[in-house]
């Protein structure tokens, strides 16, 4: 049986070295793609559905942790192909790796040593034998919840109410609209911008959701998808369909917001 892998590494020489070592240590493994940034890792992993994913932590744009989060959100629930086994590749020290160790089959420290990579291959082979066609997605979702916002490298910085943003300054032509944060229903990522949705209108601000999130009160503004943050007291109801997918309705607004599986645990009856 052919086992497939995808390498996500933004340093071409390191990616080539890792690929060559894998070919030597694990001849049956077929590397189906090697990509250089997190968005490509997310896109190609969904398209190619490899068995194993070697995921660099710090890459341009989307980090390795964010790519894993996006894959956990977007992996088809009814797909017969199990979720890939993830190996994080990082330059962080042992203390940081304690966090990543919870959300991966293994981790590798740069520069990758041949003996250590051989151990990783053995762990992957054992995990593949034990999996018997079942998905590791549920376990990864649980583990990622402990990493997102935990202070691990690549996670959003914690925030406090005292440091929270009070007003959004949104430009519109030559005017600047002062939008009280208390009036915002939700924020949505839109390429290099963020859509700011209130009951009356929509504003567009030139920032990223990742940069905006640490400025918001985390007790009031909940991330429900990698591209959406909602004001929790603006949510009227959370509706679960037959497949288990959650959709939010808002007070005084017709939009419906989808909750990814990574954040569905926020909505439980008291």
User: Tens of pLDDT along 37-51?
Assistant: 999 999 999 999 999
Tokens describing residue 188: 């949505």
Query: What pLDDT is attached to residue 15?
Result: 96
Q: What are phi and psi of 208, to 5 degrees?
A: -105, 155
H-assigned helices in 12-136: 12-25, 38-48, 64-74, 94-100, 114-131
Query: What pLDDT is attached to residue 125?
Result: 94
pLDDT average, residue stretch 147-164:
52
Query: What pLDDT is attached to residue 103?
Result: 67
Burial 53-75 (b: 16+ CB within 10 A, else e): bbbbbebeebbbbbbbbbbbbeb
Burial 123-161 (b: 16+ CB within 10 A, else e): ebeeebeeeeeebbbeebbebbbebbbeebbbbbeebee
Q: What are phi and psi of 12, to 5 degrees?
A: -55, -40
Comparison of pLDDT for 16 and 63, the residue scoring more: 16
pLDDT level of residue 264 (50, 70, 90 thresholds):
confident
Query: What pLDDT is attached to residue 118?
Result: 97
65 in the Ramachandran plot: left (φ > 0), alpha (ψ -120 to 50) or beta? Answer: alpha
Identify whether the C-beta of residue 56 lies closer than 8 Å to the C-beta of residue 8.
Answer: yes
Comparison of pLDDT for 146 and 192, the residue scoring more: 192
pLDDT average, residue stretch 2-12:
95
* Distance separating alpha carbons of residues 11 and 214, to the nearest angstrom: 29
Query: What pLDDT is attached to residue 178?
Result: 96
Q: What percent of the chain has pLDDT over 70?
A: 83
pLDDT level of residue 261 (50, 70, 90 thresholds):
confident
pLDDT average, residue stretch 150-178:
71
Read off the pLDDT of residues 63-91 as tens digits, 9 standing for 90 and up.
888 898 889 888 887 656 888 999 999 88
Query: What pLDDT is attached to residue 134?
Result: 47
Among the listed residues 122, 17, 135, the one whose alpha carbon sits nearest the alpha carbon of residue 84: 135
Comparison of pLDDT for 138 and 61, the residue scoring more: 61
Read off the pLDDT of residues 197-247 as tens digits, 9 standing for 90 and up.
999 999 999 999 989 999 999 999 999 998 999 999 999 999 998 877 899
Instruction: Tell me whether the CATH fold assigned to 3-147 matches the one assigned to 161-266.
Output: no
Q: What letter would DSSP give residue 78?
A: T
Query: What pLDDT is attached to residue 65?
Result: 85
**pLDDT(149) > 70:** no
Q: Does domain 3-147 have CATH number 3.40.50.2300?
A: yes
Instruction: Kindly report the CATH number that applies to the domain delimited by 161-266.
Output: 2.40.50.1020
Going from N- to C-terminal start, the domains of the chain cover 3-147, 161-266
**pLDDT(160) > 50:** no
Identify whether the C-beta of residue 86 lies closer than 8 Å to the C-beta of residue 105.
Answer: yes
- Which residues, in sequence order, are bridge partners of residue 215? none
Q: What percent of the chain has pLDDT over 90?
A: 56
Tokens describing residue 59: 């890459």
Mean pLDDT of all residues in the chain? Answer: 86
Query: What pLDDT is attached to residue 94?
Result: 65
pLDDT level of residue 156 (50, 70, 90 thresholds):
very low
Query: What pLDDT is attached to residue 78?
Result: 66
């Amino acid at each position: 049986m052919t086992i497939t892998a995808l390498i996500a590494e933004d340093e071409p020489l390191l990616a080539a070295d890792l690929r060559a070592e894998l070919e030597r240590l694990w001849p049956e493994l077929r590397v189906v793609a090697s990509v250089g940034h997190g968005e490509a890792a997310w896109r190609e992993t969904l398209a190619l559905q490899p068995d194993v994913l070697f995921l660099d932590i710090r890459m341009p744009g989307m980090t390795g942790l964010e790519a894993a989060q996006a894959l956990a959100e977007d992996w088809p629930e009814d797909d017969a192909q199990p979720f890939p086994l993830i190996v994080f590749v990082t330059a962080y020290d042992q203390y940081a790796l304690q966090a990543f160790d919870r959300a991966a089959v293994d981790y590798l420290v740069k520069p990758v040593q041949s003996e250590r990579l051989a151990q990783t291959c053995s762990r992957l082979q054992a995990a593949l034998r034990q999996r018997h066609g079942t998905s590791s997605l549920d376990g990864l979702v649980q583990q990622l919840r402990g990493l997102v916002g935990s202070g691990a490298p690549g996670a959003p910085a914690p925030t406090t109410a005292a440091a929270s943003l009070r007003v959004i300054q949104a430009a519109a032509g030559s005017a600047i609209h002062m939008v009280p944060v208390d009036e915002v229903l939700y924020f949505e990522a839109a390429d290099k911008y963020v859509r700011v949705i209130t009951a009356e209108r929509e504003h567009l601000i030139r920032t990223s959701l990742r940069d905006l999130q640490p400025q918001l009160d985390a007790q009031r503004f909940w991330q429900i998808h990698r591209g959406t943050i909602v004001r929790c007291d603006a949510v009227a109801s959370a509706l679960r369909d037959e497949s288990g997918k959650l959709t939010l309705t808002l007070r005084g607004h017709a939009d419906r917001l989808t909750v990814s599986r990574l954040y569905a645990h926020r909505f439980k009856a008291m």
